[in-house]
Amino acid sequence: MPFLADLESGNTGVRLDRFRMLCEVLGVSADEVLFGTERPPQAAVADLLRGRDAETVQIVERTVRALLDALDDAGRGHPTP
């Protein structure tokens, strides 16, 4: 694709809205693309919850806490603070 080749070589730019869309499609953060920094693994969970209503977030939080407690009880997890 000529556009991608031009983009990679610095011969053309990309609009911010397009850059954001590309990051979303590729499943990477803008920081990762621009600065080479990786997102923390917890960011994926935050992404899943983004835009959800408060009740759904509370249900997920209680579910995750219960799962972590069960993993801790089984000796497979790390204690939660």
What's the pLDDT tens digit per position in 34-63?
888 777 878 888 888 989 999 999 999 999
Residues 30 and 16 in one domain: yes
Rounded distance between C-alpha atoms, residue 31 and residue 37, angstroms: 6
Strands (E), 1-81: none
Residues 46 and 77 in one domain: yes
Confidence grade of residue 79 (pLDDT, cut at 50, 70, 90): low
pTM exceeds 0.75 for this model: no
**Residue-range definition of the domain harbouring residue 48:** 40-81
CB 3 within 8 A of CB 13: no
Q: Mean of the pLDDT values across residues 69-75? A: 88
Which tokens belong to 75?
A: 């000796």
Place of tokens 């920081």: 31
Residues 25 and 45 in one domain: no
